[in-house]
Every structure is written in structure tokens, then in C-alpha cells.
Amino acid sequence: MANVQSQNAMAVIVEDIARKAGELALVHFRSLADLPVEKKGHLDLVTKADWEVEDFLIAQLREAFPEDGIFGEEGGEIVGKSGRIWVIDPIDGTFNFVRGGQNWAISIGLYENRRPTFGVIFAPARDLMLVGGNSVPTRLNGKPMAPLKPLDMSQAAMSFGIHPTVATKDRLELMRFMSDELQISFRICGSATASFIEVALGETDGYVSLGDSTWDVMAALPILANLGVAHTIDWDRTELLQKLRFACGTDEFVSRLRPLLESVSQAA
């Protein structure tokens, strides 16, 4: 019981940090014309908002959990003493953010014993807060979420994300597999976290990634696990700096996607 109470107290703290970070991001989102934008790579952007939100998250998490480490997308990394690491993505979906779209979110995930164990996702432009983990039931804006429904191929849908560096042959194989093998409806929303939100809300049955980073998934996976979502990531063989190729969704969805993951190369 004490551990559950501790986990719930942690959830309240991190949810408050995420909400305040969202308010900071919204200030920049409402004045995009004046926001400096830099390129990290082709179609890979970073803004002043990313840097400021990451700095804010690091400062708040260090204050709340001084013994823990922190690992951030934009270079923020602090070695802790507890063995726990907060893995953060200040704005997942920066490209959408810069274009004025609503599909972006703040992602804060806890990594311990080589596993994601807890996460908070806040999509400020949509006012969606998802919280959940090993000892914390998944909630959307404070209300419990229902498990995913069984896969129904007559109305199935999935989303996917492809990193710009992924080889053309792998991109084409993903498209072919979805169209020919699965014959499934699909979409791309430009943000892994926003895609995970779609899965949680039941808008899609699963998500496939070719090239996401660990900070894209660390918060979402424990949130989704409580809803019956499985995934193909082998954390025992995955380091925090690695690019990922995986599927997540119901067990049946993941099973149907395994042949695709076996056919595309694992180098990202």
C-alpha cells in the first residue's frame, strides 16, 4: 500500500510539472511568427520552445527527485544516484508545432531496471493529460480509461511513423505490407506521442515505428500497457540512444505486424 501511495504522489507531482511545461509551450505556440526555428536534419526541427521547455522540465524534475537521472531529447542529461532516469521529450511533434498544428505533446517517462515504468503525456493544444504506470492506473484528464477493444479487421486502422533517415526500400515495404498483407486503413499524424494518444483513445488499433527514439516512447508505453497494449521492443537489448523499430497494439495486432518487422532491416 505504501508503494502505491508513493507512486500516486509521484504522479501528482509529475502531472503538475507537465501542465506547467505545457503552459510555457503554449506561450510560444500562440506567437509562432516570432519563434526562432533551427534544423537538426532534413524535416527535423528544434525551436526556442523545445529548449526552454526542456530546461524547465529538467529544473523541476531535479527539484522534485534530486537523486534521479534525467535524459532529454535536446541534449539535457544528468547522471543520478538512484538508478532511475526521467526520459523527457519537451515537444514531440515539433514540425506540427511550427506549422500551427495541434498534434504535439510533452512526454515525461520514468525508466528503471531497464524498463519504462511510468509516464505522463500532456497535449496542451488539445488539453489532454494522460497518466499511468506500473502502480498507477491509466487516466485521461483524471478519469480512468477503458482497455482497448479486440481487433476487428473489418474496421481496423493503424498509424505509423518513419524517421527521415530510413531507407526507401523499408518505407516502401511498410506501405506494401499495410496495403497488401493487412489491407488496413492507416494514417500519419507526425508525432509518435500523438499516435500513442490515438491508440489510447481507440481511434487506431496500433502504431508502427521505423526510427523513433526512446524519448518518443518512454512515457507512452507504461500508460498504454494498462490498457492491454503490447509492443515488440526488447529493452534488455536496447540502449537509450538507440533508434527503435517496433509495433505496439493489442496482442493480435502486434502478431500481425511481426512479419513486417522481420523483413525490414534493423539498422536505423
Q: Tell me the C-alpha distance between 130 and 40, whole Å.
A: 29
The pLDDT of residue 36: 62
Question: Within this chain, do residues 122 and 171 fall inside the same structural domain, yes or no?
Answer: no
Residues of the chain with pLDDT under 70: 1-5, 33-46, 74, 76, 265-268
Look at residue 203 and tell me if it is in a domain: yes
Number of folded domains in the chain?
2
CATH of the domain at 251: 3.40.190.80
Look at residue 150 and tell me if it is in a domain: no
Q: Tell me the C-alpha distance between 260 and 266, whole Å.
A: 11
Q: Which residues does 98 contact at the CB level (< 8 Å), separation at least 6?
A: 32, 35, 37, 45, 47
Q: Last residue of a domain, which of 97, 119, 144?
A: 144
CA 267 to chain centroid, in Å, comes to: 21
Question: Within this chain, do residues 161 and 134 fall inside the same structural domain, yes or no?
Answer: no
Question: Within this chain, do residues 66 and 175 fall inside the same structural domain, yes or no?
Answer: no
The pLDDT of residue 44: 45
Question: Within this chain, do residues 87 and 204 fall inside the same structural domain, yes or no?
Answer: no
E strands in the chain: 37-41, 44-47, 69-72, 77-78, 85-92, 105-112, 115-123, 128-133, 136-140, 143-144, 157-162, 185-187, 206-213, 230-231, 243-249
Residue 110 corresponds to which cell in the numbers above?
520514468
Closest CA to 123 of 220, 224, 250: 220
Q: Last residue of a domain, which of 144, 171, 195?
A: 144
Residue 150 corresponds to which cell in the numbers above?
479486440
CATH of the domain at 52: 3.30.540.10
92 is in an annotated binding site: yes
Question: Within this chain, do residues 138 and 176 fall inside the same structural domain, yes or no?
Answer: no
Look at residue 152 and tell me if it is in a domain: no
Any idea which residue has 497494439 for its cell? 249
91 is in an annotated binding site: yes
Provide long-range contacts, Cβ within 8 A and 24+ apart, for 31-34.
32/98, 32/100
Q: What are phi and psi of 166, to 5 degrees?
A: -70, 135
Q: Is the pTM of this model over 0.85?
A: yes
Closest CA to 103 of 195, 204, 218, 31: 195
Question: Within this chain, do residues 127 and 252 fall inside the same structural domain, yes or no?
Answer: no
Question: Within this chain, do residues 32 and 130 fall inside the same structural domain, yes or no?
Answer: yes
The pLDDT of residue 33: 56
Domain enclosing residue 233, as ranges: 157-263
The pLDDT of residue 47: 76
Q: Last residue of a domain, which of 101, 118, 144?
A: 144
Look at residue 255 and tell me if it is in a domain: yes
Pair 82, 66: CB distance under 8 Å: no
Question: Within this chain, do residues 108 and 6 fall inside the same structural domain, yes or no?
Answer: yes
Question: Within this chain, do residues 86 and 61 fall inside the same structural domain, yes or no?
Answer: yes
Question: Within this chain, do residues 11 and 112 fall inside the same structural domain, yes or no?
Answer: yes
Question: Within this chain, do residues 168 and 78 fall inside the same structural domain, yes or no?
Answer: no
Question: Within this chain, do residues 60 and 114 fall inside the same structural domain, yes or no?
Answer: yes
Residue 71 corresponds to which cell in the numbers above?
535524459
